[in-house]
Amino acid sequence: MTQQIGVAVIGAGMVGRAHASAYRNAASLYDLGGPVARLVTIADVHEPFATDAARRFGYEKTETDWRRVIDDPEVHAVSVAVANNLHREITEAALQNGKHVLCEKPLAPTIADAEAMVKAAASSERVNAVGFTFRRSPAVNAIKAQVEERLGAVRHFIGNYWCDYGFDPQRPISWRYRGGRGSGVLADIGSHLADLAEFFCGETVAVHGTTMATLIKDRPRPLGVAVGHAGGVELSTERDPVENEDVCTYTSRHANGAVGTFALSRVAYGHANTLKFDLFCEGGTASFDLNRPAEFSIIDDGPARAGNGPRTVSIGPWHPYVAGGLPMDFPTVGHGQNDFFVFQARAFLDQIGGLGRLPACPDMAHGLHNLRVLDAVTRAFKEGPA
Ligand SMILES: NC(=O)c1ccc[n+]([C@@H]2O[C@H](COP(=O)([O-])OP(=O)(O)OC[C@H]3O[C@@H](n4cnc5c(N)ncnc54)[C@H](O)[C@@H]3O)[C@@H](O)[C@H]2O)c1
């Protein structure tokens, strides 16, 4: 009989909706026989978000108090998809109540919080996971295979993550703009890029030369409830200070000797979600750009140098995740970041069911490690003249 895992999503904002949709679609991936999600509850403190997401994605119940989800015996697994400062309390309670937990990144606002979460995970027999979703990108994994099979060790990782969600000073204040040094663009999107650098180059052994700046000093208070990057709500004339940084750059050294170069911005005009990186390897170069997620480019040491150069490879069923992972699983039909959440949900459900068809989700100890890297980046910032 097919195993049914009761799932709930706590937080029905931007990423909560991606998790809600992902559990629904995960049942259709990679042969039948794996456990399927029973879509039990969507919880959000803002009730209309919870009911809207439950209706759209087909969940049975809604709650406004996450504690009721944690107490519900019909819920076996939860996604924690709320602001970072709520991750610890919800995750600890869920693990203590015997739930499997997939918590969003960054794992927590502080290392101390993350350490407590890892401790709670260690005393639970349930699956604990953190949502580094870009590890589920078919193109990212295709590049990894090329590095391992042909290109040789990465010598230089050059990563950029540029967003424009904060470029307009009239975008309202939200949890994303609150917290101490390093909790801004670095924690929000730099956490992904730091993780991808380690995916290719191994552990970060040193960080140098951090520059960080807050370019927009205050933002209006929203009058309504905003989701995600918080556009489209009425604004107060009162403004609150922005507490963390809009841009961050730094360099790193990795366990394999590689150098990393990073540029992060949440005020990059016109770049809604540009995550891109280049890998300069011993025997070639490979590049990825999330604006064109279903392809990558590669240069290698082909025999005829005069006719060699960068070429684009379309992702197809011969690459990871695609065969059986998309309804039409041939090249150029397209896929994107939403699909990464579906592959992640499939892996999480499989792990709960004891199947190892996909790479396991990174665990909370991995999330703690990521925070230690971000902390090293923050400590490498030497305040100078503005
Ligand atoms: N993996 C990814 O690619 C990715 C992408 C975006 C966000 N994230 C992460 O996901 C988390 C949420 O980000 P978001 O952009 O979805 O935020 P968001 O602000 O859009 O959504 C958060 C939701 O939580 C709700 N909420 C607030 N307090 C609550 C409570 N006590 N109980 C239940 N619900 C509550 C809010 O009403 C809101 O709907 C963050 O940790 C963020 O870093 C990850």
Asked if residue 166 and residue 119 are part of one domain, the reply reads no
What pLDDT does residue 377 have?
98
Asked if residue 122 and residue 211 are part of one domain, the reply reads no
Q: How far is the CA of 84 from the centre of ligand 1 (A)?
A: 8
- Is pLDDT of 307 > 90? no
Confirm whether 377 is domain-assigned: no
Confirm whether 344 is domain-assigned: no
CA distances (Å), 243 to each of 111, 191, 216, 224, 378, in order?
19, 18, 10, 21, 14
Confirm whether 155 is domain-assigned: yes
Structural domain of 50: 4-133
Q: Which residues surround ligand 1 with Cβ inside 6 Å?
A: 10-16, 43-46, 49, 66, 81-84, 86, 104-105, 131, 133, 188, 227-228
CATH (domain of 108): 3.40.50.720
- Looking at every residue in the chain, the average pLDDT score rounds to 95
Confirm whether 340 is domain-assigned: no
CA-closest residue to ligand 1 atom 21: 13
Asked if residue 304 and residue 160 are part of one domain, the reply reads yes
Provide the percentage of residues in the chain whose pLDDT is more than 90: 87
What pLDDT does residue 385 have?
56
What pLDDT does residue 364 have?
98
Confirm whether 307 is domain-assigned: yes
Q: pLDDT digit string (tens) for 62-100?
A: 999 999 999 999 999 999 999 999 999 999 999 999 999
DSSP strand E in 12-153: where? Answer: 36-43, 61-63, 77-80, 100-103, 128-130
Confirm whether 379 is domain-assigned: no
CB 211 within 8 A of CB 190: no
Q: Give mean pLDDT, residues 151-168.
A: 97
Q: Which helix (H) or strand (E) holds 365?
A: helix 364-379
Whole-angstrom Cα distance, residue 18 to residue 35?
Answer: 20
Q: How far is the CA of 63 from the centre of ligand 1 (A)?
A: 15
Asked if residue 155 and residue 87 are part of one domain, the reply reads no
Asked if residue 221 and residue 91 are part of one domain, the reply reads no
Measured from the Cβ of residue 315, the count of other Cβ atoms closer than 10 Å reads 25
- Is pLDDT of 228 > 80? no
Asked if residue 228 and residue 83 are part of one domain, the reply reads no
Asked if residue 238 and residue 96 are part of one domain, the reply reads no
CA 274-264-185 angle, 5° bins: 105
What is the count of structural domains for the chain?
2
Q: pLDDT digit string (tens) for 26-58?
A: 989 987 778 999 999 999 999 999 999 999 999
What pLDDT does residue 386 have?
57
